[in-house]
Amino acid sequence: MTSALRHNVHSLLYSTTLDIFLAVCEHQSFTKAAKALGLTQSSVSQNIQKLEETLGVTLFDRQVRPIMLKPEALMLQELLAGQFSEIEHVVSLIREKNELKPIVKIGVIDSLSANVAPALIRLLAEQTRQISVLSGISPNIAQDLINREVDIIITSDPLDGVDGLSRYFLCQEPHLLVLPKNSELVDKPVTWQQLISYQRPLVRYSRRSASGRVAETHFARMRMTVPFKVEADTTRVVLSMVADGLGWALSTPLCLLQCKDQLQDVHVQAAPQPSFSREIYIVTRHNEYSGPVDTILAESARELSVSLLPEISSKFPWAVDEMVIDKRALKLAKLD
């Protein structure tokens, strides 16, 4: 333990009077003890006198230079030194144990950050020395993982083309159709062909986002060309444009719950068949952070099951049956 740390711990656990006593014992001089402690000589003298009065004994022979420790002072010094040595050892063990804990940085997609992040910070505090949670769209946090700016991400982009990563499935959710409230398609069975030929174009998620790429892949698989004029990165902007009658959109329950205040301005219903889904994964570098990953899986599954699914059931009841939460994650959360 460094001398600076020793002094800090010493000052924390011992009274100022005992601190002064030990300094006088060490330096055998009131003047040198005062200088070492940054105190005045009179303050040192007063504290030693107070200690002697409390104990009812004289601790130092002041008639000689350097001053001499009397037997009572030697006994007290030995007792305090032994106790302090034990305390130093315990403090060193505590610090060493804490130093072994990792610093963890987590990236979370926007659609889960508000619900999951607070619980993750609370649960991971015991497993980590320091934790930070960043939110953003999947491509941004994925790049942060590749650049080692974060250690674990919750993402809808599993980064299949990147080597050296471990991927853990968390959940799957369907895409829903979002329409202007005054659309003639509201509450009617709709086909993809009707949407393609609809007078209002698709308001799509940007190709930069994982949601945009998932939709594009679905359209390509269906060999559909879907006209669009506007694209955006965030659900809030997409919903604002649909509410203004600029077009229709496809989004997921978790994305829509981000913007609950806007749901009253749009109409949400089941998407045409065949529908398509978004999958969410926890991704980290291979063989790293297995403990925190299990905690994240468990807490995310718990939040989905206990808080989010009931809300999805209330707002989008037809979508609940298409929600899938990983069985292992549920088991870790003790919800299986």
CATH number at residue 40: 1.10.10.10
Q: State the chain's mean pLDDT as an integer.
A: 85
220 or 14, higher pLDDT: 220
Query: What residues form DSSP beta bridges with 268?
Result: 178
Report, as an integer, the average pLDDT of 264-281.
93
For 117, the domain range is 103-170+280-315+326-332
Contact between residue 202 and residue 251 where contact means Cβ atoms under 8 Å apart:
no
Residue 237 domain-assigned (yes or no): yes
* Residues 91 and 107 both lie in one domain: no
15 and 94 both lie in a single domain? yes
Query: Which H or E run contains 202?
Result: strand 202-205
Tell me the average pLDDT across 156-167. Answer: 87
Q: What is the CATH number of the domain that holds 309?
A: 3.40.190.10
Q: Torsion angle, CA of 10/15/20/21, rounded to 10 degrees? A: -100
Select the more confidently predicted residue: 111 or 320.
320
| Contact indicator for 244, 229 with CB cutoff of 8 Å | no
Which of 107, 104, 155, 111 has the alpha carbon at shortest distance from 125?
A: 104
- Eight-state DSSP code of residue 49: H
Least confident of 80-89, 164-173, 247-256: 80-89
Burial 105-115 (b: 16+ CB within 10 A, else e): bbbbbbbbbeb
Locate 157 and state its tokens. 């982009």
23, part of any domain: yes
Give residue-wise pLDDT tens across range 33-49: 988 888 899 999 999 99
User: What's the chain's length in residues?
Assistant: 336
Q: Distance (Å, rounded) from C-alpha 223 to C-alpha 87?
A: 72
Same domain, 241 and 260: yes
For the chain, the domain total comes to 3
- In this structure, which amino acid lies at residue 87? I
Exposure class string for 78-89: b at 16+ Cβ within 10 A, else e: eebeeebeebbe
Question: Do 31 and 63 lie in a common domain?
Answer: yes
Measured between alpha carbons, how far is 32 from 36 in angstroms, rounded to an integer?
A: 6
pLDDT for position 98: 57
**Counts of helices then strands in the chain (DSSP H, E):** 14, 13
pLDDT at 1: 47
Q: Is residue 320 part of a domain?
A: no
What pTM, to 2 d.p., does this model score?
0.67
